[in-house]
Amino acid sequence: MEDTILVTGGAGFIGSNFILQQMERSSPHLINLDKLTYAGNLRNLETIARNPRYEFVHGDIGDRLLARSLLQRRQPRAIVHFAAESHVDRSIRGPDDFLRTNVDGTFALLEEARAYWTELAGQDKSTFRFLHVSTDEVYGSLASNDAPFSETTPYAPNSPYAASKAGSDHFVRAYHHTYGFPTLTTNCSNNYGRFQFPEKLIPLMILNARAGKPLPVYGDGQNVRDWLYVEDHCGAIATVLERGKPGETYNIGGWNEQRNLDIVEMICDMVDEMAGCGEAPRRRLITFVKDRPGHDRRYAMNATKIERELGWRPKETFATGLRKTVRWYLENEEWVSGVTSGSYREWIETHYAS
């Protein structure tokens, strides 16, 4: 079996960072299966587009015939499953896509992957892995004094997005316990870094702050999240893929709990520093807006297990990771304009019309 990894959703925020990191640090062939929804961006991967170790396949994880032919043709030793609808606000307005992609799509991929694995023999079968990338939101919300989420925290999803990811997690677990299928599950805290679609908190605030637009903060701004720099997350996924025990779940966190308001203020100060503050500091742009329905108050991850068993810890502090992120968005105007102006959609239609 050739050293090949199938990555689903590899044109998205975390998936593209994972592929680029793997291309730089290791030597497998990487197959990127992506539907190219609004948040999928092949420009993230332009630097490796012609690399013989990389292949892009335009398709849906729910297309079982496509998944079957791809598995049979490329014979991967692992699947890393990022593909998902992931924005809470969008799930509140339209939950259908979240059920379709996150639950039905994961089920379809599991079925084809299990059939493929069943036909493998010897070492190829014993070393195959299916790594499912999930979220801390499946655990629900924490009070200010509650202990962080652990791998044994009961599930209590509070949004359609979180419920759809919880459903996919349960299917992955069931396929290991029912069929012996060698699954791994990672539940991560909030990611940030380059290539994140600007609907998410940190890139939205960076870009609005740069443009002098209002900075909308939900509720009182005291909601707390544990923040994980995306390159640290990708390193953790590679570690779990290499050394994780089949059937296990690993929480991946940044050990960086931050209040939303504090993050927005830090971004204002960094943009003032890097881009100039103009007539007044950008903190004046902060605007409090009505809280969204079911807005979880606090997330926090206990990442002790992955550190103890697999030796992984994040390299970035929140301050160092945020500074790198702010600088990247300020220095990559072409990428930003491409995903916010609609020109990227036209680019896809031109290059993949067939």
Q: Mean pLDDT, 10 residues at a time, over the chain (354 residues)?
A: 92 97 93 91 96 97 98 97 84 87 97 98 97 96 92 95 96 98 97 92 94 91 93 98 98 94 97 84 92 82 97 96 98 90 58 46
Taking the complete model, does pTM exceed 0.85, yes or no?
yes
Domain that holds residue 17: 4-192+227-256+298-317
- Report the pLDDT value the prediction gives residue 279, as an integer from 0 to 100: 66
Residue 179 among the catalytic residues: no
Q: Please identify which of the residues 34, 85, 112, 137 carries the catalytic annotation.
A: 137
- If DSSP states are collapsed to H, E and C, what string results for the chain? CCCEEEEECCCCHHHHHHHHHHHHHCCCEEEEEECCCCCCCHHHHHHHCCCCCEEEEECCCCCHHHHHHHHHHHCCCEEEECCCCCCHHHHHHCCHHHHHHHHHHHHHHHHHHHHHHHCCCHHHHHHCEEEEEEEHHHHCCCCCCCCCECCCCCCCCCCHHHHHHHHHHHHHHHHHHHHCCCEEEEEECEEECCCCCCCCHHHHHHHHHHHCCCEEEECCCCCEEEEEEHHHHHHHHHHHHHHCCCCCEEEECCCCEEEHHHHHHHHHHHHHHHHCCCCCCHHHHEEEECCCCCCCCECCECCHHHHHHHCCCCCCCHHHHHHHHHHHHHHCHHHHHHHHCCHHHHHHHHHCCC
Q: Please identify which of the residues 136, 169, 231, 296 carries the catalytic annotation.
A: 136
Query: Is residue 163 assigned to a domain?
Result: yes
- Report the pLDDT value the prediction gives residue 198, as an integer from 0 to 100: 84
Give the whole-angstrom CA distance, residue 75 versus residue 69.
10
Query: Is residue 354 assigned to a domain?
Result: no
- Report the pLDDT value the prediction gives residue 38, as an integer from 0 to 100: 79
Report residue 38 CA to chain centroid gap.
15
Residue 226 among the catalytic residues: no
- The total number of structural domains in the chain stands at 1
- Report the pLDDT value the prediction gives residue 349, as an integer from 0 to 100: 60
Query: Is residue 286 assigned to a domain?
Result: no
Residue 296 among the catalytic residues: no
Strands 183-188 and 286-289, sheet pairing? unpaired
Task: Give the number of other CB atoms < 10 A from CB of residue 194.
Answer: 20
Query: Is residue 273 assigned to a domain?
Result: no
Give the whole-angstrom CA distance, residue 92 versus residue 99.
12
Query: Is residue 280 assigned to a domain?
Result: no
Say if CB 48 and CB 22 are below 8 A apart.
no
Query: Is residue 344 assigned to a domain?
Result: no
Query: Is residue 77 assigned to a domain?
Result: yes
Query: Is residue 216 assigned to a domain?
Result: no
Give the whole-angstrom CA distance, residue 191 versus residue 200.
10
The token pair that represents 171 in the structure block: 């299917």
CATH for 37: 3.40.50.720
- Report the pLDDT value the prediction gives residue 199, as an integer from 0 to 100: 79
Q: Please identify which of the residues 161, 175, 250, 299 carries the catalytic annotation.
A: 161
Task: Give the number of other CB atoms < 10 A from CB of residue 176.
Answer: 17
